[in-house]
A and B are shown apart, each in its own frame.
Chain A
Amino acid sequence: MGLRWYHFALWGGLIAGMFLLPQVVSNGTLRTMIFANYLAIFAISWDVLSGRTGYVSFGHPFLIGIGAYTTAILTKRFDVAVEVSIPIAVVVTMIAGLLVLLPALRIRGSYFALVTLAFMELLYQLVQVIRPDLTGGTRGMSGIQTLTRGAANGYYLSTTLMLAIAVSMWLLMKTRLGTALSAIGMNEESVRGSGLSTTRLKAFAFLTSAMIAGLGGAFYVHYLGSLAPRALFDINFLFTIIVAALLGGTSTIIGPMIGAFFMTFLLEYLRPVLPGAERYFVYGAIALLLYMYQPKGIVELVRRGFKGLGKGRTT
């Protein structure tokens, strides 16, 4: 599987560092970190599907939103315990993922991106009209049960969730299954030619992605305590997820994490200068330039930097 001791040492260092962080930084920074953690989960989920197999999904808010709405409706309207509602939300999201999967079996490339975009807009409009007594209509819902109190506890919960997902995805991608998924992104025909069922592989990637999205969405809504259709099914939200994954580096696990933290903190530092939606101007411009300069993301830049250093020493 190509595992080396230093892989585990690096993961161990990261995990230890992240859990020790609340001892040194302020509560405000921790709150920012919580958002970064959830964004990292969403970015990993996007990357498992789109970064690996090359099927660009513009509909990830669709999956996240279904997870969030399911658990919110179950706990608030039907008084279901959180321990039950979150697993149900994940299952429902996976079923919704299957729904998106069906068109993907026939179409590819740009068209797939458009179908997923259409799914997202569809749900945005439907959620406001159909059963507003359940979904809260245009205004959404508030007063949803929260799982934790205080910044530190929320941080521990989100960090645990994010790291658990990251490590398990990393291990999964080290297996032959992960290699096959990446191979689909390079050349789907030759994967089929090697006797592998691309349909089954794609289905697997979809379900994994949907599972992570549902899990992230459900925990996220139980952290926020509220949700609104325009905050979830929004192109800006989609943009943040995709940009986080792309900037960090697709087809890696650490990439989306780096991207998520980079973008969240950039937005946070821009807040005093540009308080409103104008922040996206700087944010987007940086994203666009970085993406045009290096489509493989920060991870690739760092890797090249290290290579450069190595060369410097040997010559």
Chain B
Amino acid sequence: MLQILIQGLLLSGLYALIAMGFTLIFSIGRVLNLAYGAYLMVGGYIYFWISQSLGMPKLMGVAVAAALGVLMGVLKYRLIVKTLKGDHVSVEISTLILAVVIQAGIVLVFGDSSKILLPIVPGVINVAGASVTYNILIATLISWAILLGLYAFVRLTHTGRAMQAVSMDAKGAAISGIDPDRINLITWGISGALGAIGGVFFASYTQLSPSMWVAPLIISVAVVIVGGIGSILGTLVVAHIVGFLEVIVVATLAPELRGVFTMLLIIGVLVTRPQGLFGREEL
């Protein structure tokens, strides 16, 4: 019982970290970034390349991954989202195509076989009979730190409040002297960085493979849909729902069914309460 609690808490922390960048774009830019899972993958692979293939310090690997994430986010906003003028369907489709292109690019550079990432922070600690790697413990702590930081940033800073304004009404924000274009650019950058950092931890939790981007994308989708748009609190709560659901299913039913209930949750919530559990009334 305690074991489920600990495992669930840790996994949920990781999921919250993964889903945050996706939520951010969906809340402020109002577009679904289906290539988000590919950010995670690129982040994980870049970290792998720098820290394990080149043997550079691990922190540098994380930093380069985050920088590349920012670059990818900004480029995608400039080259794709802005060119398509925020047409939702076109953005979704082109980000899906982009995700497949990135996946193929990874295969081209790193090969088809999956790779094991060494833990970022090695070591295991025993908590109440459950063995917990420092790796996932650190991921959870970082996830909480980033979440709180993001919450403070959005609530307290000028840029953060401008982001809120743009997410509510881009036109109104523009009238009040906010440049929605700049805010969007910042948002895409932050989202890219969050995705890449989340990817490093996710990759060390599972392993690196060119098809690893689908699972975190589905998790992010579940979190953002069930949590509702524009709700950081919702993200946190739902990441825990999804994480605990998975841990409980693995522990009590069957490991193969771990994703099934996440999917059912998405479908169920979308059909009964399309605005999400915590989101604003919309659609």
Contacts and interface: CB of A to CB of B under 8 A. Distances in A.
A146 to B, nearest CB: 29
Contacts of A106: 271, 274
A174 B263 CA distance: 38
Contacts of A102: 271
Given A56-B93, A111-B283, A118-B221, A125 B104 contact: no
Interface in A83-100: none
A227 interface: no
Q: Which 10 A-B pairs have the closest CB atoms?
A: A281-B104, A284-B101, A280-B104, A122-B263, A118-B266, A278-B108, A103-B271, A129-B256, A107-B274, A277-B107
8 contacts: A106-B271, A118-B222, A121-B218, A125-B263, A239-B96, A246-B93, A291-B90, A295-B90
Nearest to A235: B214
Given A114-B225, A118-B222, A292-B80, 13 more contacts: A109-B283, A110-B92, A111-B270, A113-B92, A115-B271, A118-B263, A239-B97, A246-B93, A277-B210, A279-B104, A280-B100, A281-B104, A284-B100
B92 A122 contact: no
A128 B93 contact: no
A274 B271 CA distance: 43
B23 interface: no
Contact of B267 (A54, A115, A277, A287): A115
Interface string B213-228: 0100010011001000
Contacts of A281: 101, 104-105, 107-108
Interface string A219-240: 0000000000000000110010
Contact of A114 (B100, B101, B260, B266): B266
A81 B50 CA distance: 58
| Most chain A Cβ neighbours within 10 Å, of B83, B84, B89, B264 | B89
A29 to B, nearest CB: 25
Contact-residue size bin, chain A (C-beta under 8 Å from the other chain): 35 or more
B266 A129 contact: no
Provide the main secondary structure of the chain A interface: helix
B112 interface: yes
B171 interface: no
Contacts of A115: 266-267, 270-271
Contacts of A285: 101
A204 B256 CA distance: 36
B197 interface: no
Interface string B75-105: 0000010011000111011101111110111
Contacts of A292: 80, 83-84, 94
Nearest to B264: A122
Interface residues of B, number: 42
A108 interface: yes
Contacts of B214: 121, 235
A255 to B, nearest CB: 15
Contacts of B103: 277, 280
B256 to A, nearest CB: 5
> Is the contact region of chain B dominated by helix, strand, or loop, or is it mixed?
helix
Contacts of A108: 283
A126 B101 CA distance: 28
Contacts of B222: 118
A102 B274 CA distance: 13
A122 B95 CA distance: 22
B93 A242 contact: yes
A54 B270 contact: no
A114 B32 contact: yes
B254 interface: yes
A64 to B, nearest CB: 17
A291 B93 contact: yes
B130 interface: no
Contacts of A125: 256-257, 259-260, 263
A79 to B, nearest CB: 29
Contacts of A107: 270-271, 274, 283
A288 B98 contact: yes
A156 interface: no
Interface in B105-150: 105, 107-108, 112
Contacts of A117: 218, 221
A274 B108 CA distance: 9
A120 to B, nearest CB: 9
Which of A107, A243, A274, A284 lies at the interface centre, i.e. has the most chain B CB atoms within 10 A of its CB? A284
A287 B107 CA distance: 18
Contacts of A56: 89, 92-93
Q: Which of B100, B264, B267, B274 has the most CB of A within 10 A?
A: B100
